[in-house]
Amino acid sequence: MIIKFILLAALVRLLLATDKPFLCSGIYAGVAFLLGLIFGNPFLVVLIHASISFLLASVYFWSLDKLDGSEVLWWLVAIVGIVIGLV
């Protein structure tokens, strides 16, 4: 769980540097996929979980990218989006 929150923070920094939200969501879903396999979960379950993680992370990072000019809305999405780390 802690790994996901640290990864999410690092990917927000990557988003700010690259402005590529789908790169960030792809990395997030890839790590979720690998962690699922490492912990011995069934492949299909891991694949479904990683797909859901990719969709939610894509919405999150895309929203942060589009709201880059609005400080208040950006921080609101950034803080509320931490829930992605729970998926």
Q: For the purposes of burial, counting CB atoms within 10 Å of the CB of 37, is it exposed (0-12), middle (13-18) or buried (19 or more)?
A: middle
Task: For residue range 4-46, list pLDDT tens digits in order.
Answer: 888 989 999 999 999 999 999 999 999 999 999 999 999 999 9
* Type of residue found at 87: V
| pLDDT at site 87 | 60
Show me where the domains of the chain are located. Answer: 2-86
Confidence bin at 82 (pLDDT 50/70/90): confident
* Helix axes of 2-18 and 21-38: crossing angle, nearest 10 degrees: 160
User: What's the farthest any 2 CA atoms get from each other in the chain?
Assistant: 42
Q: What six digits make up the tokens of 1?
A: 């769980």
